[in-house]
């Protein structure tokens, strides 16, 4: 009911949201092992036959096109929670009487992706790793997803570089990761974790993920439980960039009747392989809402 762009943040009637219907993670031809040149692979046919692949061709459409289709559908009324907003026509389930012709043209392409890493070796515990990651691929221009996170990580790397030139070294090794092909199924990060599972399980201290870093003013933190206290201690030390009189913690509490740290239970971003394959303590930080 708020209208659409440019009057509000919602897509215009002609806008189409792009996404992937692949329900797995990583390269589907190398399930649970690393995808690299010359490695063993299952056939494309076998990969397509798994439950991770949708069996019905599907196409995202705009609200305008969807409304045209809905208007020519008959049959029973759709359930109340399937109906559109106020003022929309009644949605029906069909079948028919309209006939929709959908032509699907696809191709199977084996492409090369590239992750990019930067390493600052630790002074006291060089074989213990704190890992920071953000993906750099986007469906379209990626202003929020992932480039708001990319901007934050690049700026952090620049500050660490300045400190290094002054002789500073971290206690533990810091690894910056720029992941490729996240939107296709967390591919870059998953394959790297699969390739380095043993090393990560013994040496990784934590994985800190940023993806959609800024889409609003309110902190929305997610962690695994081991990092809850550290996160709370840290945001009490960081000044709110929008209000210099208080900390990020103060703003977070004021914006929420019952502020809560969320859990990383789903596979929404590149933390998934670190948490679910190796059990590395992880965080994912977003400023959103409002």
- The encoded tokens of residue 68 equal 């045209």
Q: Where are the domains of the chain?
A: 63-97, 116-288
Check residue 81 and report its DSSP letter: G
How would DSSP label each residue in 124-185?
Answer: SEEEEEEEEEEE---SS--TTTTHHHHHHHHHHHHHHHHHHHTT---SEEEEEEEES--TTT
Q: pLDDT tens, 187-219?
A: 999 999 999 999 999 999 999 999 999 998 899
Helix (H) or strand (E) holding 240: strand 239-240
Separation CA 71–CA 177 (nearest Å)? 48
For 243-252, what is each residue's pLDDT tens digit?
A: 999 999 999 9
pLDDT in tens, 7-55: 887 889 999 988 888 889 999 999 999 999 899 999 988 998 999 988 8
In 3D space, the residue among 114, 70, 108, 110 whose CA is nearest the CA of residue 92 turns out to be: 70
Average pLDDT over every residue of 154-178:
97
pTM (2 d.p.): 0.89
**Distance separating alpha carbons of residues 200 and 273, to the nearest angstrom:** 11
Per-residue pLDDT at 98: 87
Buried b (16+ CB within 10 A) or exposed e, 188-218: bbbbbbbeebeebeebbebbbbbbbbbbeeb
Of 3.40.50.300, 3.30.420.40, 3.40.630.10, 3.30.530.20, the CATH number of 116-288 is 3.40.630.10
Cα–Cα distance for residue pair 272/94, rounded to 1 Å:
39
Q: How many whole angstroms separate alpha carbon 183 and alpha carbon 88?
A: 32
Which of 182, 198, 229, 233 is catalytic? The answer is 182
* Per-residue tokens: 268: 């929404």
Average pLDDT in the chain = 92
The average pLDDT across 209-233 equals 95
Catalytic residue check, 45: no
CB 216 within 8 A of CB 288: yes
Distance, in Å, from the CA atom of 58 to the CA atom of 50, rounded to the nearest integer, reads 17
Region for residue 3 given its phi and psi (left: phi exceeds 0; alpha: psi -120 to 50; beta: otherwise): left
Q: What confidence score (pLDDT) does residue 158 get? A: 96
What's the pLDDT at 168?
Answer: 96
């Amino acid at each position: 009911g708020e209208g659409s762009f440019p009057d509000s943040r919602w897509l215009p009637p002609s806008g189409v949201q792009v996404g992937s219907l692949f329900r797995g993670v990583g390269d589907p031809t190398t399930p649970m092992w690393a995808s690299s040149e010359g490695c063993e692979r299952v056939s494309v046919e076998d990969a397509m036959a798994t439950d991770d692949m949708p069996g019905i061709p599907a196409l995202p459409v705009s609200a305008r096109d969807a409304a045209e289709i809905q208007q020519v559908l008959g049959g029973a009324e759709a359930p109340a929670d399937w109906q559109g907003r106020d003022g929309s026509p009644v949605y029906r389930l069909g079948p028919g009487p309209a006939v929709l012709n959908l032509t699907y043209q696809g191709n199977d392409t084996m492409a090369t992706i590239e992750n990019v890493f930067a390493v600052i070796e630790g002074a006291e515990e060089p074989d213990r790793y704190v890992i920071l990651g953000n993906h750099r691929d986007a469906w379209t221009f990626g202003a929020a997803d992932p480039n708001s996170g990319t901007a934050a990580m690049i700026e952090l790397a620049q500050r660490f570089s300045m400190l290094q030139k002054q002789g500073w070294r971290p206690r533990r090794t810091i690894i910056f990761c720029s992941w490729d092909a996240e939107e296709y199924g967390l591919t870059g990060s998953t394959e790297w974790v699969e390739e380095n599972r043993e090393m990560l399980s013994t040496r990784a201290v934590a994985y800190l993920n940023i993806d959609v870093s800024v889409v609003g003013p309110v902190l929305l933190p997610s962690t695994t439980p081991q990092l809850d206290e550290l996160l709370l201690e840290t945001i009490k030390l960081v000044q709110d960039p929008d209000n210099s009189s208080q900390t990020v913690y103060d703003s977070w509490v004021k914006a929420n009747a019952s502020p809560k740290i969320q859990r990383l239970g789903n596979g929404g971003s590149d933390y998934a392989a670190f948490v679910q394959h190796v059990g590395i303590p992880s965080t994912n930080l977003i400023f959103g809402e409002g």
